[in-house]
A and B are shown apart, each in its own frame.
Chain A
Amino acid sequence: MTNSWTDIRNTDLVIIMGGNAAEAHPCGFKWVTEAKANRGAKLIVVDPRFTRSASVADFYAPIRQGSDIAFLLGVMNYCIQNNKVQWDYVKAFTNAAFIVKDGFEYKDGLFTGYAETKRDYDRSTWNYVIGDDGYAVVDDTLTNPRCVWNLLKAHISIYTPEMVERICGTPKEKFLKVAEMISQCSTPTKTMTSMYALGWTQHSKGSQNIRSMAMLQLILGNIGVRGGGMNALRGHSNIQGLTDVGLMSNLLPGYMTLPNEKEVDFDTYMSTRGFKPLRPNQMSYWQNYRKFFVSFLKSMWGPAATPENHFAFDWLPKLDVPGYDVLRAFELMNQGKMTGYICQGFNPLLAAPNRTKLTASLSKLKFLVTMDPLDTETSRFWENHGEFNDVDSSQIQTEVYQLPSTCFAEDEGSLTNSGRWLQWHWPGGTAPGEAKTDNWIMAQIYTRLRDLYRKEGGAFPDPILNLDWSYADPGEPTAEELAKELNGKALAPVMDPADPTKVVVEAGKLVPSFAALRDDGSTASGCWIYSGCFNENGNNMARRDTSDPDETGAYSKWAFSWPVNRRILYNRASADLNGKAWDPSRKLIEWDGQKWSGYDVPDIAPTAKPQDVGPFIMNAEGVSRLFVVGMMRDGPFPSHYEPFESPVTNLIAPKIRGNPVARVFKGDFAQFAEPASQEFPYAATSYRLTEHFHYWTKHVWVNAVLQPEFFVEISEELAKEKGIVKGGWVRVWSKRGSVRAKAVVTKRIKPLICDGKPVHVVGIPLHWGFTGAAKKGFGPNSLTPFVGDANIETPEYKAFLVNIEPIAGPVA
């Protein structure tokens, strides 16, 4: 989230699209009801199904899954055509005026530089014109046909309300009603908040779904302001923490990146991480990368990381591929190239796509270690459970170690919520049986491995033998010790750069924030963005002060929000070019002629003059990006692509199938149904239900009572066509698998008319498996395709093709 849960109460309009907050985030949804009560806010829901969120919405519009970009670019086009743009914001705070290199263009669904054989672009033309002064060239009048604004206008002009209806199946008048409601938030005194979740991420163009809304929010002036923002509702209580501390295969903590195999030494690695400002006076905060990176290496290897060995840079793994995401991991298992798997708090047998392939892959492992409080399906993948897990155990040689762990309510630590709040928690009970904390298990594995390396040597022992493991009990580091390590400390006196005789932090003390981190090895910090969470003031994550001066929704003394307890990111953008709040009733920070101050920690240098320094300090441009340079694999602008399995062909680029740069492993393409397939004619999607949390709560009796049995949802029209009755049994199958389910026949799903053709939606909730208290069932991953988002490989769970038929029930 750019904002926080509590800030949602400040909004005028909530749009829930690509998510279902009432269903999947019922507790956070209370802030939507607060906004309605507080400000008379309106709620719009756009979804293929009439969801629980829709049940309390002011307006609902249906949409075909996987067509969100067309819808959002359609809204953007509507706003531009009707002059519903917050012009002062767009001109000052976005790259609308930047001139793009000649050679860049978009044609027939592709941007310049596409190489079909590589399924990748040469992105060299996707860049700005750089002037003689070394800065990007801009045209503040927005008249240059090559400026970002004019390229954007041309790029989205095809997404008319008529085209949106043809692609999305959203009736034109409903689309126009949504567009009109959204466009009202282009004034400085009205804001909209976007609440989204896996309904946008789980697509082969998930990142661009989100970018589309981010761009819309920018042209409405809704980023950095109270009641605005891009608010990702994370799918687990600590999944924000997972990405923050770098548990992605290509990331280091704090969104730094692992070196690739071409970055063979420290200087080469740093050479592409200079982040030189692209406009005069800009902060380009990533210029501090070296400080955060060296401090991270010091936290890893302590005294063994020295200036002489480049702070042990050589001990970091170097990626030979863009990332070892879960899809690649299972592909490698399936090829027999990955033979051991440690599965910590993860149930891939139900959470990763194409279950047939997953079972085959796990069966080829030499060993599998699971660490979980629950008896997961992955731990039992080798056990025959009839049709629910029809394997021949005698043919599986994988050795499985099941390590029971504590659950969140049985140990101490912090969870990072969607709003970037690190909230400390204490054990509410003791763990059952032999369950141990994850800290204990990991420490025990580590110390045993280290001892083996000491005794027997090994191919490359240095990173393991030299790991800084100076915990009071090496067998079980405490949550507090780890939190302090993330926060960081001074290893030598840290001096003031302005006055080299003045000590800012004494040696041995915890650093107050990442501003004290240095690149000379005098500081250590495990995760720079978390710096400040546990400093000499104590454990700031454990703060529980509910005071909120002037009821701004900031609650600044409750827990700790990264970075530096800032509650709203880009909050400098809440004020105009002179530093005055766009909306005086929703003041956040303001410039008093000398400095910035207000209700939140300013997201700008406190003395940075408002006319000089742009609000988007992490960007080298100092402004936000309507056109993105370099970072997105699938285009500097979003463009509509169909899902890999789609009931229709791509209307605006008929030759393009799926996202043209999404990675598809050999063999998986053959397992996709053809576009507009006769064999698999129905558009399926998967989702959560309020009664359950993933595959966990089916182990809990009460939750199992409330939603006991696997079902799929279809419209009354499809039920009639296929002879399916409410509560009857159906078989649903895709090109990859088949499931048996009860049928919920509902008015909440209606056929969509896309380009004149009816598209039937089949909804498949995800909470059942073959362990736990609930009735045994299947998950949608028995059906879903093995392909992910082109940028971050989130599997395409939300749009795929199936067939359905009524069947006789099982013999009782």
Chain B
Amino acid sequence: MFPPVPNPTTQPVPPKFGDQDLIRRSASNVTPPAQRQTEVAKLIDVSKCIGCKACQSACIEWNDTHPEIGINTGVYDNPHDLTPDMFTLMRFTEWENPETNNLEWLIRKDGCMHCEDPGCLKACPAPGAIVQYSNGIVDFVHENCIGCGYCIKGCPFNIPRISEVSHTAYKCTLCSDRIAVGQGPACAKACPTQAIVFGTKDEMKEHAAGRITDLKSRGFANAGLYDPPGVGGTHVMYVLHHADKPEIYAGLPNNPRISPIVEAWKGVTKYAGLAVIGFAAAAGFMHYLVAGPNRVSEEDEEAAERLAGEEPRP
């Protein structure tokens, strides 16, 4: 058992992180903190998940959202998609394994991946509407949001949703308000089987390694960790029984990674510097508008990497 995050004191405590810990701020420059906080992560072990939706329930309760009572459309997924009132969603897939002829019921908790290189933040034109803390959490600041929807186009996982009521974008916050006071995310707390655990990114990788060994011993030769390098890794990771084909888990992107050309450019971006920022951003936005959602192309990545190259790496 991974030790659960202990209950914190009921006394008020100062938040563990705040504006001084920002490493990125949309459409603006930040002075990076001298020291980066330990990176956190949430690990979702799909092989342990029983699809009970306790995480969805906890998410609704903690964030005090009010999703509508919908209808049944012939599947177990309810609501039918992420909404401004539903930041996380169990997606159910019935998959017949061609190698064993056995049915596998793949249940993946969908939601924000908290990318190390956040496409949403890169795409956002509103100053300070999307921020990234040094612990890895990518958060939306609603009073700065202009509801343009670029974040949806920038996101390689199709996560943010715009509210028709408040005209601002919503997604999983990784319970930044809970983590700031020493608690874990609400979904992890509610999960009965510890399919969702929370800790430092290193701890999560170590825990995942143990789980993967167990899965391999049970015949899942391709069990592995989903921490896609194309977005610099994520602060929400999955343990998958079939890590070689993430797309079978309700369309989890197979390879949202930076192309080899961009990788090669990495070394020189540092020197290309500010001169190309304007061009890159413009090219990036144009591309988003033309190419549509869910795809991070070479050009986008190029632009993103140039921007990323400006900032200190841990």
A704 contacts B by Cβ under 8 Å? yes
Cβ distance A36 to chain B, nearest Cβ, rounded Å: 7
A26 and B54 contact, CB distance less than 8 A:
yes
Interface residue count on the A side (C-beta < 8 Å)? 46
B72 and A709 contact, CB distance less than 8 A:
yes
Cβ distance B177 to chain A, nearest Cβ, rounded Å: 19
A22 and B69 contact, CB distance less than 8 A:
no
A703 contacts B by Cβ under 8 Å? yes
B103 contacts A by Cβ under 8 Å? yes
* Beta-carbon contacts under 8 Å, A692-751 to B: 701-711, 725-728, 742-748
B54 partner residues in chain A, CB cutoff 8 A: 26
A50 and B69 contact, CB distance less than 8 A:
no
A408 contacts B by Cβ under 8 Å? no
Bound state CA distance, A30 and B196, in angstroms? 12
Q: Please tell me which stretch of A52-60, A250-258, A268-276, A419-427 contacts chain B, meaning at least 4 of its Cβ atoms lie within 8 angstroms of it.
A: A52-60
Chain B, residues 51-94, CB within 8 Å of chain A (1/0): the string is 11110110011000011111111111011000000100000001
A708 and B72 contact, CB distance less than 8 A:
yes
A745 and B105 contact, CB distance less than 8 A:
no
B68 partner residues in chain A, CB cutoff 8 A: 705
A691 and B53 contact, CB distance less than 8 A:
yes
A30 partner residues in chain B, CB cutoff 8 A: 192-194
A747 and B96 contact, CB distance less than 8 A:
yes
Report if A26-B69 is in contact (Cβ < 8 Å); known contacts: A55-B51, A743-B74.
no
Bound state CA distance, A745 and B75, in angstroms? 8
Cβ distance B197 to chain A, nearest Cβ, rounded Å: 12
A468 contacts B by Cβ under 8 Å? no
Set A702, A703, A708: member contacting B70, Cβ < 8 A: A708
B50 and A53 contact, CB distance less than 8 A:
yes
Set A34, A745, A775: member contacting B71, Cβ < 8 A: A775
B107 to A, closest residue via Cβ: A55
Set A54, A702, A704: member contacting B105, Cβ < 8 A: A54
B50 and A22 contact, CB distance less than 8 A:
yes
Bound state CA distance, A26 and B49, in angstroms? 10
B67 and A50 contact, CB distance less than 8 A:
no
B56 to A, closest residue via Cβ: A706
Set A23, A33, A58, A727: member contacting B73, Cβ < 8 A: A727
B72 and A690 contact, CB distance less than 8 A:
no
Set A60, A705, A727: member contacting B102, Cβ < 8 A: A60
B217 contacts A by Cβ under 8 Å? yes
* Beta-carbon contacts under 8 Å, A19-53 to B: 22-23, 26-27, 29-30, 33-34, 36-37, 40, 50, 52-53
Report if A708-B71 is in contact (Cβ < 8 Å); known contacts: A26-B193, A33-B193, A748-B105.
yes
A38 to B, closest residue via Cβ: B1
B72 partner residues in chain A, CB cutoff 8 A: 707-711, 727, 742, 744
B53 partner residues in chain A, CB cutoff 8 A: 690-691, 706
Set A690, A708, A711: member contacting B69, Cβ < 8 A: A708
Set A36, A37, A690, A774: member contacting B52, Cβ < 8 A: A690
A773 contacts B by Cβ under 8 Å? yes
B214 and A37 contact, CB distance less than 8 A:
yes
B104 contacts A by Cβ under 8 Å? yes
A27 partner residues in chain B, CB cutoff 8 A: 192
B52 and A26 contact, CB distance less than 8 A:
yes
B70 partner residues in chain A, CB cutoff 8 A: 705, 708-709
Chain B, residues 89-120, CB within 8 Å of chain A (1/0): the string is 00000101000001111110000000000000
A705 and B60 contact, CB distance less than 8 A:
yes
Set A26, A703, A746: member contacting B50, Cβ < 8 A: A26
Report if A40-B214 is in contact (Cβ < 8 Å); known contacts: A27-B192, A705-B60, A726-B74.
yes
B107 partner residues in chain A, CB cutoff 8 A: 55
B52 and A705 contact, CB distance less than 8 A:
no
A59 to B, closest residue via Cβ: B102
A773 and B69 contact, CB distance less than 8 A:
yes
A711 partner residues in chain B, CB cutoff 8 A: 72, 74
Set A29, A58, A708, A746: member contacting B193, Cβ < 8 A: A29
B69 and A40 contact, CB distance less than 8 A:
no
B193 partner residues in chain A, CB cutoff 8 A: 22, 26, 29-30, 33
B295 contacts A by Cβ under 8 Å? no
Q: Most chain-A CB neighbours within 10 Å: which of B60, B66, B70, B76? A: B76
A742 partner residues in chain B, CB cutoff 8 A: 71-74
Bound state CA distance, A16 and B68, in angstroms? 35
A23 and B94 contact, CB distance less than 8 A:
no
B48 contacts A by Cβ under 8 Å? yes
Set B51, B60, B74, B105: member contacting A727, Cβ < 8 A: B74
B313 contacts A by Cβ under 8 Å? no
B94 and A705 contact, CB distance less than 8 A:
no
B217 and A40 contact, CB distance less than 8 A:
yes
B1 and A37 contact, CB distance less than 8 A:
yes
B218 and A774 contact, CB distance less than 8 A:
no
B234 contacts A by Cβ under 8 Å? no
Q: Most chain-A CB neighbours within 10 Å: which of B50, B57, B71, B218? A: B50
B61 partner residues in chain A, CB cutoff 8 A: 702
B168 contacts A by Cβ under 8 Å? no
A748 and B74 contact, CB distance less than 8 A:
no
B26 partner residues in chain A, CB cutoff 8 A: none
B269 contacts A by Cβ under 8 Å? no
Cβ distance A177 to chain B, nearest Cβ, rounded Å: 12
A744 partner residues in chain B, CB cutoff 8 A: 72, 74-76
Cβ distance A195 to chain B, nearest Cβ, rounded Å: 14
Cβ distance A706 to chain B, nearest Cβ, rounded Å: 5
B1 and A34 contact, CB distance less than 8 A:
yes
Cβ distance B50 to chain A, nearest Cβ, rounded Å: 4
Cβ distance B207 to chain A, nearest Cβ, rounded Å: 11
B57 and A703 contact, CB distance less than 8 A:
yes
Bound state CA distance, A638 and B74, in angstroms? 39
Bound state CA distance, A54 and B102, in angstroms? 11
B132 contacts A by Cβ under 8 Å? no
Chosen A-B contacts, 27 in total, with CB atoms closer than 8 Å, are A23-B52, A26-B193, A29-B192, A29-B193, A33-B48, A37-B1, A37-B214, A40-B217, A52-B52, A55-B50, A55-B51, A55-B106, A690-B53, A701-B69, A702-B57, A702-B61, A705-B79, A708-B71, A711-B72, A727-B74, A742-B72, A744-B72, A744-B76, A746-B94, A747-B96, A748-B94, A775-B71
Q: Sort A-B residue pairs by CB-CB distance and give the 3 closest, nearest first.
A: A727-B74, A726-B74, A55-B105
